Structure 1
């Protein structure tokens, strides 16, 4: 950035949002549409990746039931359409005294530098960098299990899944006690990601068989196990949702192991504290999340999980010029005497709130206070079913739902995200386009 350009930039209020996840991208899009177009402020998005995908879709990418290329959104294009600036790179530090952030150099797949390390000045800084997988120090977990934080990781798992099936089909894989070839998949962690992935994988096994990529029996020869340290799956949801989901997984012949704390992950097995050995050609780690390590270096109060501690206005407790929201923030939820849960609906609500809060701050008005409204939770079991509960102001109470209604509600969550990014017309066209593609393309990505 030239000094002449920087001087021009500093004449207007500069808002930097770090993190282009669901909430961060929705926020900069709205800020750019409402304030950036008129030149009232300059809006900048910083993210280490050049593209955005809605993170709850990654289990479908891993199972091959979704082609990520049809859902990726280029940040540069979104910036052009919605009047904000995009800077690619990873956040490495914040100088609060000088009000600048440090962004790491950006390199390509060959290790060549595309963009240099740089500093970016801000007047208002919003941190929305999400979370990362937490391996809890389990030996072998980081080396032998695949996390699902990025598209690259999900695609890596999908390729390894197809390879494992092909190898087993041709006598190059594991053989069971009955002498039949088999593929064993272990999913560590029975939260929403682990449960949803297990159901999608069962569907993928059937589709790969139908297309002739393997002749294995989709249920008898492809073994899927979900391993949970606690007493039940989906521990963050109600007991009824957990119980009904467990029944559905049993119908899909997915093994559900509870009260099994993983103590080691080897290249071909998962070991537990109870002495069990679960064979695994492929292992997925979906057992926990933690805040990115860089947050602990910013000299801001952090929670036990390393999240930035914010007040009801989503401002940091010690620096009113820094906001944080989404999974990287510990936001109070007074009604439940806890913090707001790390869910997509929370990030969506906080992004909407922050737009209003930033507008109030620019106008010199007092900031409102964020109030989280829990509309319930839904878990998708792919083509087979969906379960969940609707809560709060949406229906005036609590209601358990499953089947078609739950699937429609689950799909609508993503459509709401697309609506926030593109508006009603493009959202409608996007919906029709993906429906047509689903009718003309294979149900699973085969290459």
Structure 2
């Protein structure tokens, strides 16, 4: 008999964890043939991208090659981008993979079809620009490593230009400053602002500029709502605002962006905020392709509508989870938030659900547990709230303990992919490497 074909599309935090666990449990010819599909050849934990953008993390040291992970854990990897779905024949269509100019041009891989028996969609989210004029053209999102690296290069170039203007002794002091605008005061925007302040200080210490890290490198966070971190408790928002004020990060709240130009951001109140580089971190939506997949029901953000078993409301052979799925959270009369902890919980649930499916047993029901939220301010601090049965409610945390808890989130992800011993070795290797390299990338 042929093996049951399980295809997971999307190698983000949840998708890669799921493929790894399914490969270990069912792969290598045991019960099923597990295949992971992603348009990129490597994985990086998306919550780290703000560190890549600030230059405080070298992505090459944290990227994981899908092919290697597949070899180690009993699944297969296929590179390609999902562009179509035929639910009758249970077949995916993957776009051709183009070659880079220095790889000879043409296509590395042609357009292909991939059959499945059970399909899991975990393709994450993309930036939502909300139709703001100039936003997509004049800002940098932080969805990929390439975008984060692009921002970092733009930041270095802006500092070098400001340094050159300062050295020339020109009369216009504004030219001697670097203005960085961050649209959106969620976790990504707030964490990026703190990392950028640290980067400004380190670049100055290494002599890459003689600008004042606080006065000459201006950082502004622009939030449409009345406060930063709107999805978190107000106490966390207030504590974070106070910490950012100490770092001379300006917060503009309650004033939505109306237009973005090449060197400035305009708000609804008429304010004009200068910006040498602008980051857009104001919202997310699921990739547009989900709204074109053979009649699958999606919401206004292109998220697949799923039931309590994480199966699509349209097709029981298709599951979806993570940022690309709209999953009800009955206890809060809301929906499961787009967080890494949610994707991790859903990946663990789907291992059990697919195991039941393979045995023709009833599927369990997913129940999301909110363990709280943490926000890192880099080397300066961290804040957040913890929740759970052991605490008996919600507990506000700040400082060193919060930083340790924040760091542990990534280590939990590494443990899910490699196990405890390899996680410990990986942690030690990165500690040793950081002792021999600058704290931020200098080029």
Residues 203-282 of structure 1 aligned to structure 2 (within 5 Å): 203-282=198-277
Contact 1:375–1:393 (CA under 8 A) maintained in structure 2: no
CA distance in 2 between counterparts of 1:179 and 1:28 reads 52
When residues 176 and 439 of structure 1 are mapped into structure 2, their CA distance, relative to the original with a 3 A threshold, is farther
Q: Distance in 1 between matches of 2:391 and 2:12?
A: 28
2:77 is aligned with 1:83: no
1:117-136 → structure 2 map (5 Å cutoff): 117-136=111-130
Q: TM-score, normalised by structure 1?
A: 0.96
Q: Distance in 2 between matches of 1:176 and 1:153?
A: 34
1:377 is paired with a residue of what secondary structure?
strand
Q: Secondary structure of the equivalent of 2:177?
A: strand
Structure 2 CA distance for partners of 1:295 and 1:173, relative to 1, 3 Å: farther
Match in the other structure for 1:7: none
Q: How does 1:15-414 map to 2 (within 5 A)?
A: 15-110=6-101, 111-171=105-165, 178=173, 181-298=176-293, 299-414=295-410
For residues 231-270 of structure 1, the C-alpha deviation after alignment (integer angstroms, 9 at most, x for no partner) is 0000000000000000000000000000111011111000
Distance 2:34 2:404 in 1: 35
For the pair 1:12 / 2:42, whether they are aligned, the reply is no
How far does the alpha carbon of each residue in 1:329-374 deviate from its partner, in whole angstroms, 9 at most, with x for none?
0011100011100000000000000000000110111100000000
CA contact (8 A) 1:173 1:182 kept: no
2:406 counterpart of 1:415: no
User: How many angstroms does 1:172 deviate by?
Assistant: 7.8
Q: CA RMSD in A?
A: 1.4
Q: How big is each residue's C-alpha offset from its partner over 1:148-197, in whole Å with a ceiling of 9 and x where there is no partner?
A: 00000000000110111011101189989656710000000000000000
Following the alignment from structure 1 to structure 2, what is the Cα–Cα distance between the partners of residues 173 and 154? 29
Bigger shift: 422-431 or 10-19? 10-19
Shift of the alpha carbon at 1:394?
Answer: 4.6
Which string of whole-angstrom CA distances, capped at 9 and with x for unpartnered residues, describes residues 419-447 of structure 1? 00001111000010111111111000112
Q: 4+ residue stretches of structure 1 with deviation over 6 A?
A: 172-177
Normalising to structure 2: TM-score of the pair?
A: 0.97
CA apart distance, 1:108: 2.0
